[in-house]
Amino acid sequence: MRTLLLSTTIAAFLSISLQARENPFILYEEKTGKVIESPPKVKNVTDLEEEQFIRDYQNKLKNPEQESEQRAPAQVQEKSYSKKEVDSLMLKTKYEAEQKAKALVKKELTKEPEQVVYVKPRADAATDETLISKNILPFIKVDYNDNKLLIATQDAVSKKFSINNENKLVIDFKGKKNFTANKHSLNSANFKAISTGNHAANGFYRIVIELASKPSSYNFDYNDSIISITKK
């Protein structure tokens, strides 16, 4: 009996030892020789994702045509219109264009006209300062416009007087000059003509200016051999 019990114990010990050699990670109690079973491993989120990825990849390998069909973009079918629909669209577009044109014309017609204010220029203001030059004698130059007349000469003025009933201004210059008397028309609103007269026997010559109005409505100025006559 003792021999049988000893044989059984030795056999159990050898069995555990062999199992431990085959799997060195198996735990067992040293005293009793019982195998300590490790608790089952709890799967975390990463393990589950890896398993799902492996399953999906295996399915793709099995059905490659199905994946390509899923990725193929859907074709958009172009809508076709009948002749009646096309005519209807054209009429609608034409009507809308006509309505916009009518609205624009109506808007322009309802606008108030711009008021233009005309300011009459002053009669005493010179509208053109450009002077016209004319040599009435070799030694006398005249520059004029509508409101001003300038006489340039090297001879001094000896006398000046007016003839009111004829609207004339007379100027005498010192000097014995031999020339033929003449008359020059002036293209001016306030100065009509200018005439020259030879009085060499008396030691002077004369210039007569025909004015558009009374001589009293003009200013006369003489300075540095320049005679200036301007309309007031």
3-class DSSP assignment, residue 195? strand
How far apart, in Å, are the Cα atoms of 185 and each of 21, 27, 218? 147, 144, 19
Least confident of 28-32, 71-75, 180-184, 226-230: 28-32
Structural domain contains residue 138: yes
Pick the most confident of 3-7, 11-15, 160-164: 160-164
Please compute the mean of the pLDDT values over residues 24-40 and round it to a whole number.
54
Contacts of 58 (CB under 8 A, 6+ apart): none
Residue 117 resides in a domain: no
Please compute the mean of the pLDDT values over residues 204-219 and round it to a whole number: 95
pLDDT > 90? residue 56: no
- Residue 100 in any domain: the answer is no
- Domain assignment of residue 90, yes or no: no
CA nearest to 132, candidates 148, 110, 156, 114: 148
Helix, strand, coil percent content, the chain, rounded in steps of 5: 35, 30, 35
Whether 78 is in a domain gets the answer no
Question: What is the structure's pLDDT at 129?
Answer: 75
Number of domains, the chain: 2
What is the separation of C-alpha 217 from the centre of its chain, rounded to a whole number of angstroms? 54
In a domain? residue 112? no
Where does the pLDDT of residue 228 fall: very low under 50, low under 70, confident under 90, or very high at 90 and above?
very high
CA 185/CA 208 separation, integer angstroms? 12
Question: In this structure, what DSSP letter does residue 78 have?
Answer: P
Q: What is the extent of the structural domain holding 161?
A: 132-231
Whether 155 has a pLDDT exceeding 60, the answer reads yes
Residue 121 lies in a domain: no
- Tell me if 184 sits within 8 A of 208, measured CB to CB: no
Q: What is the mean pLDDT of residues 183-203?
A: 93
**Of the listed ranges 86-95, 118-127, 140-149, the one predicted with least confidence:** 118-127
The count of C-alpha atoms lying within 13 angstroms of the C-alpha of 157, restricted to the half-sphere facing its C-beta, is 17
**The domain spanning residue 187 has which CATH number?**
2.60.40
Model pTM above 0.85: no
In a domain, 159, yes or no: yes
Work out whether the CA dihedral 86, 89, 95, 96 comes out positive or negative.
Answer: negative
